[in-house]
């Protein structure tokens, strides 16, 4: 015989045929096209957006660094408005364009990574999203291999250690694999 405590726990889980957390019986929710998500599914969803979070954080670091270095002149440089004093109009426009382009690119990476994180974590992110995501990460992987095959002096002079490159390769390979897993389990896109 079940105790009152066991009956209450079963009712909270919906095992006794009563209403679930939204007032709908669990079986009715499943029959209406709903899906029971397990803890493993939530774990895969969380893991699949980790590369997007890394991209968003790197973009945010880029924006903060752009503000601190270009605008406030921290470090060994000087603020952009002092650096462009005395330049000809053509050079001034070019330098300002490049400075704004660097800031806008960092901001776009941060915003894109944040959007992809939010969209990718949703239960209903469709197959099109995950197919495009897998393609983008795959192209990034191919680009990384291509850069590694470049003359060694160029990559060694970039300041990235071999462990940094292998870590980046592992993260991107991880992203490609998890995008494929999510694509297979995603609902059809509209």
Residue 8 domain-assigned (yes or no): no
pLDDT one-digit tens code per residue, 39-79: 668 888 899 999 999 999 999 999 999 999 888 888 777 88
Boundaries of domain holding 83 = 50-121
Give the pLDDT band (50/70/90) at residue 162: confident
Among 7, 111, 9, which residue's Cα sits nearest to residue 62?
111
Q: Are residues 94 and 132 in the same domain?
A: no
The pTM of the full predicted model, rounded to 2 decimals, is 0.70
pLDDT one-digit tens code per residue, 95-132: 889 989 999 999 999 999 999 999 998 888 888 999 99
Residue 182 domain-assigned (yes or no): yes
Q: Are residues 75 and 112 in the same domain?
A: yes
Torsion of CA 140, 144, 147, 152, to 10 degrees: 160
- Of the candidates 97, 121, 145, which is a domain's last residue? 121
pLDDT on residue 135: 95
- Give the total number of structural domains in the chain: 2
d(CA 112, CA 106) in angstroms, rounded, equals 10
Among 51, 53, 186, which residue's Cα sits nearest to residue 123?
186
Residue 84 domain-assigned (yes or no): yes
């Amino acid at each position: 015989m079940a105790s009152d405590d066991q009956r209450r726990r079963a009712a909270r889980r919906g095992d006794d045929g009563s209403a679930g957390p939204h007032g709908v019986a669990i079986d009715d929710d499943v029959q209406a096209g709903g899906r029971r998500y397990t803890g493993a599914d939530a774990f895969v969803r969380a893991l699949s957006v980790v590369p997007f979070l890394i991209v968003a954080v790197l973009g945010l670091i880029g924006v903060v660094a752009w503000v601190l270095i270009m605008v406030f002149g921290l470090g060994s440089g000087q603020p952009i408005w002092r650096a462009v004093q005395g330049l000809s109009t053509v050079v001034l426009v070019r330098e300002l364009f490049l400075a704004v382009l660097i800031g806008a690119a960092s901001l776009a990476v941060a915003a894109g990574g944040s959007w992809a994180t939010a969209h990718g974590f949703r239960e209903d992110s469709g197959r099109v999203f995950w197919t495009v995501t897998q393609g983008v990460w795959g192209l990034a992987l191919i680009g990384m291999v291509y850069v590694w095959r470049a003359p060694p002096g160029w990559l060694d002079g970039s300041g990235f250690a071999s462990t940094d490159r292998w870590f980046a390769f592992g993260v991107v390979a991880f992203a490609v694999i998890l995008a494929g897993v999510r694509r297979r389990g995603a609902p059809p896109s509209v």
